[in-house]
Amino acid sequence: MSLSGKSQIYGLLGDPVAHSLSPMMQNQTFQAHHIDAVYVPFHVRPENLSAAVNGLRALNVAGVNVTIPHKETILPLLDQIDPTARLIGAVNTVVNRAGVLTGYNTDASGFIRSVRQELKFQPEGCKVLLLGAGGACRAVAVGLALAGVKSIFIANRHPDRAEKLIDNLISHFPSVQFFVADYNDNSYLETLSGVDLIVNTTSVGLYGEKIKFLPLECIKGSALIFDMIYSLSETPLIKSARSLKLLCTDGLGMLAAQGEDAFFLWTGVKPTPGFMRRFLTEVGR
């Protein structure tokens, strides 16, 4: 990598960021497309987010990705919000245009593209269970609703958060059925046995812990498992699902898909199709 005085700076705001593959992936893509730029991770704790956003303007950072736990809290700190990101209520990509910071969300489009490619999932008319109710869940729910699913069940350890999320979405998607699924209710097991796709949108598994609130033995054999957590080996959820011969995938494909969309927003250049996904596959070997 050769940097100059004209090199553009891009990065990642999150807590943590040390595990992220985005810096390697985006820097490799900059090089492959002959763009004078560098992508670096910025470890930003929640109490420092406002200062970090101001720093983007002061240092003329051209753009950043935003990850846990800042996707929702960054919204009021930005100058403009793209309508899709506003609907989702979360931002994962920021573009700096002459000091004006605009927030976008590429998680929704990235998820749908990834689940179609990785699991051959056709959303139309299907039932989906989402674990979690944060910014990542909002993006996936919007993506699935736009893609035409029949019903979306949202399960969270705090059911009121799931209810609030549904209240925000239901008026925008009247043809989609939304339900709250309570981990502690017997009906939760019935929900597990009837859905076509289960998506873990929580951070559980990021440090190798198992998802105790997802008894895989209760789901139907044809159900698909999508873990938004990614790993160069296997996440605990993916390892458990494969041991039961369930069709599953982690978030590497989604990381690549949303990364492609962010790259285009920043540079106006569309990466070579499949380049980022192939790079991540090579890194994992």
Q: Which of 71, 150, 239, 245 is catalytic?
A: 71
pLDDT of 28 reads 97
Q: What's the pLDDT band for 152 if we cut at 50, 70, 90?
A: very high
Mean pLDDT value across residues 166-182 = 95
1 has a pLDDT exceeding 80? no
In the structure, what pLDDT confidence band is assigned to residue 131 with cuts at 50, 70 and 90? Answer: very high
pLDDT for the residue numbered 63: 98
Report residue 198's pLDDT band, with 50, 70 and 90 as the boundaries: very high
Q: Assign domain 8-105+256-283 to a CATH class.
A: alpha beta
Q: Is 71 a catalytic residue?
A: yes
The distance of Cα 269 from the centroid of its chain, to the nearest Å, equals 21
Strand order of the sheet with strand 248-249?
A: 177-181, 151-155, 127-131, 197-200, 224-227, 248-249
Q: Can you give the pLDDT at residue 285?
A: 61
The 3-state DSSP class for residue 185 equals coil
Token pair, residue 31, equals 């090089």
Residue type for 267, please?
T
CB 74 within 8 A of CB 66: yes
Q: In this predicted structure, what is the pLDDT of residue 233? A: 81
Is residue 247 pLDDT above 80, yes or no? yes
**Picking from 224-233, 238-247, 256-265, 267-276, which range would have the lowest pLDDT averaged per residue?**
224-233
Residues forming a β-bridge with 249: 226
Alpha carbon distance 35, 25 (integer Å) = 14
C-alpha neighbours within 13 Å on the C-beta side of residue 69: 7
pLDDT, the chain, mean: 94
Element (H, E) at 281: helix 275-283
pLDDT digits (tens, 9 = 90+) for 58-88: 999 999 999 989 999 999 999 999 999 999 9
Note the pLDDT of residue 58.
Answer: 97
- Where does CATH 3.40.50.720 sit in the chain? 108-250
DSSP 50: H
> Strand, coil or helix: what is 57?
helix
Between 236 and 207, whose confidence is greater?
236
Supply the CATH classification number for the domain 108-250.
3.40.50.720
pLDDT computed for residue 231 by the predictor: 83
Per-residue pLDDT, 51: 98
Sign of CA dihedral 187, 188, 192, 197: positive
Percent of the chain with pLDDT over 90: 87
Q: Where in the chain is the domain with CATH 3.40.50.10860?
A: 8-105+256-283
Nearest-angstrom CA–CA distance, 241 and 51: 41
Query: Is the pLDDT confidence value at 2 over 90?
Result: no
Tokens 């198992």: give the residue: 210
What is the spatial distance between Cα 141 and Cα 129, in angstroms, rounded to a whole number? 10
* pLDDT tens string 6-44: 999 999 999 999 989 999 999 999 999 999 999 999 999
Average pLDDT over residues 139-157: 96
pLDDT exceeds cutoff 80 at 49: yes
What pLDDT shows up at residue 177? 98
